[in-house]
Amino acid sequence: MKVQNILATKGSKVHTVLPDLPIREATALMVQHNIGALVIVDAAGALVGILSERDIVRAVARNQDVGEPVSRLMTRTVIAGSLQDDLSAVMRTMTEKRFRHLPVVDHGQLVGMVSIGDLVKAQLAQYQGEIETLVTQITQGGSQP
């Protein structure tokens, strides 16, 4: 299972904002679209950072002015994935490095985002599928090889 298989069923819509967007508006967008992270791109569309729920929690805890731009708050060292990345490797890396949203870049273009929830769902479907296949073979299977 590849990252591309997951993105195909997510419509590849990614919510991006510019670095100078006020934090207040960014959080409103996250509420509106029911998402846990926003990708920050520059005017040329290049990936410059990611803003996650966790960043917002930190800002709230230190009473940060939500009128400030998201560039003050975003994580700048972003790990990006590619379409052909293996599901198992990505899951392991996200778990080990404790991040929950992975922007996906193809030929320099941001093409989508997968969350740890998407990966868990895909892995669960994979296991269910294997079980389903085995059950079918046991219940329907004859004596043939």
Partner 1 sequence: MTTQPGTAEHPLRVAIIGSGPAAFYAAEHLLKQPDLTVTVDMFDRLPTPFGLVRGGVAPDHQKIKTVTKAFDGIAANPRFRFFGNVEFGLHVTLDDLRQYYHQILYATGAQTDRRMGIPGEDLTGSHPATEFVAWYNGHPDYRGHVFDLSQERAAVVGVGNVAIDVARILCRTPEELLKTDIAEHAFEALRHSRIKEVYLLGRRGPVQAAFTNPEVKEVGEMAGADVLVRADEVQLDPLSEAALAASDDRTLRKKVEILQGYALRKPDGKDRRLHIRFLVSPVELISDAQGRVARMKLVRNVLVASDTGSLNAKATDQFEELEVGLVFRSVGYRGVALAGVPFHERWGVILNDKGRVLDPDSKQPLAGQYTAGWIKRGPSGVIGTNKPDSVETVMAMLEDLAKGQVLAPSQPEAAAAEALVRARQPLSVSYAEWKRLDELELQRGQTAGRPRLKFTSVPDMLSALGKTPVPTP
Q: Which residues bind to partner 1, rule: CB under 8 A?
A: 1-2, 4-6, 8-13, 79-86, 88-90, 92-94, 96, 102, 124-126, 128-137, 140-142, 144-145
| Cβ neighbours around 52 below 10 Å, total | 19
**Closest CB 137 distance from partner 1, rounded Å:** 6
Determine the residue type at 143. S
Give whichever of 71 and 93 is closer to partner 1, judged by the CB atom: 93
Please identify, using beta-carbon distances, which residue of 67 and 142 lies nearer to partner 1: 142
Which residue's CB is nearer to partner 1, number 66 or number 80?
80
Contact 18, 41 (CB under 8 A): yes
CA distance 51 to 47: 12
Minimum distance from CB of 3 to partner 1 (Å)? 8
The CB-of-116 to partner 1 minimum distance in angstroms stands at 12
Fill in the DSSP letter of residue 64: -
| Closer to partner 1 by Cβ: residue 49 or 81 | 81
Q: Please, which residues have CB within 8 angstroms of residue 124's CB and are 6 or more apart in sequence?
A: none
For 110, the 3-state DSSP assignment is strand
